[in-house]
Amino acid sequence: MYKVFRDWMQRYFSDEEAVVLAVLLVLGFTAILTLGGMLAPVLAGMVLAFLMQGLVRQLQQWRMPRMLAVWSVYALFIGLLAVFLMVLVPLLWKQVIALFNELPGMLGKGQSLLLVLPDRYPHLVSDVQVLEAIEAVRGELAKFGQMLLTFSLSSLWLLVNALIYLVLVPILVFFFLKDHQLMGRWFRGYLPRERTLITHVAQEMNQQIANYIRGKAVEIVICGGATYAAFAALGLNYAALLALLVGVSVVVPYVGAVVVTVPVALIALFQWGWSDQFITLMVIYAVIQALDGNVLVPLLFSEAVNLHPVAIICAVLLFGGLWGFWGVFFAIPLATLFKAVLDAWPQQPSVPPLVAAEG
């Protein structure tokens, strides 16, 4: 047993760079797990700055001085943030309040529809099953009401946190944009001089994460915008709120589109019933989802690492359980990181790479 363990250590950890890379990965994940809550504004600033670095470099390629490019991109960021806070947030808040006010009426309609089922389909649904389903829904609504009460009691603390984010994150974004080269040189000063393995992994991850995060941000904007335009044109209630859900749903591969279809279909059904408007909306919504999956995603992520669907689902479940929404958002980049490390790490030639099977 000792010989097997020694041979395994010599095979995978005989290289100094491999040991350093392993230590860096362990320290990084430990820091995020233990200090992620306190450093959340810093992490958010890093992500936003990383999203905007490509635009800064593009402006520099157009012969614009670096500081002018940084200030231009930062001004665009502040402008979009102001539009979001002054236009989108009030609209979303108004629609959320309207939805909560209309929720009892929608539940009454739903209960009436359920009570009709035993008469129409007596062999499939019984009165007892319908009553049990109604009681279960009422129980879930009671839990939801308690959650809302708890949320309202802690709203002052949430407001303070939001103000902290609104102040700190824009400041951090500016400094990450302005001094990212200086910070990179400072960090590299603590690494070994011979770092071929670390450099290879870092370069691959920088390219893949940049492609993924920026592509995902563009996908959220395009899907959310197209959905809002379609829903608003058809006159669907809560169009902005549902479009936001559809945009955010693209973060979760495979599952997000299925889950968000439920509120879209329910609100349309309560508003129009089983009518031509309902069918038209669902057809348009299906077309948007099809274009997203078959046109937009291949176009935006053509340079992304081809991960197997099982690896993607496992990454979403694992990192989502650890870090919630941000864990889901970064599940594919983190899975790509592990794949890059495994591909660059010394390994037996018989181990095949895990990639998606070609159709």
Ranges 108-122, 163-177, 251-265: which has the least confidence: 108-122
**How many Å apart are CA 184 and CA 166, to the nearest integer?**
26
Is the model's pLDDT at 284 over the cut of 90? yes
Task: Tell me the C-alpha distance between 46 and 358, whole Å.
Answer: 35
User: Which residues, in sequence order, are CB contacts of 43 under 8 Å at separation 6+?
Assistant: 32, 36, 326
Find the helix packing angle between 40-61 and 155-188, rounded to 10°. Answer: 50
In sequence order, what are the residues at sequence separation of 6 or more whose Cβ sits closer than 8 angstroms to the Cβ of residue 266? 106
Q: What digits encode the pLDDT tens for the residues 152-209?
A: 555 566 677 778 888 888 999 999 888 888 887 887 777 777 667 777 777 777 777 7
The mean pLDDT value of the chain amounts to: 77
d(CA 75, CA 66): 14
> Tokens 């939801």 correspond to what residue?
144
221 contacts 190 by C-beta, under 8 angstroms:
no
pLDDT of residue 359: 42
- Is the pLDDT reported for residue 281 higher than 80? yes
Give dist(CA 62, CA 211) in Å, integer: 21
**pLDDT tier at 45, thresholds 50, 70, 90:** confident
Q: Which of the listed ranges 49-58, 99-108, 275-284 does the model predict with the highest average pLDDT?
A: 275-284
CA 80/CA 30 separation, integer angstroms: 34
Helix, strand, coil abundance in the chain, percent, nearest 5? 85, 0, 15
- Three-state SS for 205-244 is HHHHHHHHHHHHHHHHHHHHHHHHHHHHHHCCCCHHHHHH
- What is the reported pLDDT for 251? 78
Residue 172: name the closest of 35, 77, 83 by CA.
77
Q: Which pLDDT does position 13 carry in this prediction?
A: 58
Report the alpha-carbon distance of residue 242 to residue 270 in Å, rounded: 14
Instruction: Report, as an integer, the average pLDDT of 328-348.
Output: 70
Better-predicted residue by pLDDT, 189 or 151: 189
Res 71: pLDDT: 92
- Tokens 């839990």 map to which residue? 143
Of 83-87, 271-275, 348-352, the one with minimum mean pLDDT is 348-352
Please name the residues in contact with 71: beta carbons below 8 A apart, sequence gap of 6 or more: none
In this prediction, residues 61-70 reach a mean pLDDT of: 88
pLDDT of residue 350: 47
- Has residue 263 got a pLDDT over 80? yes
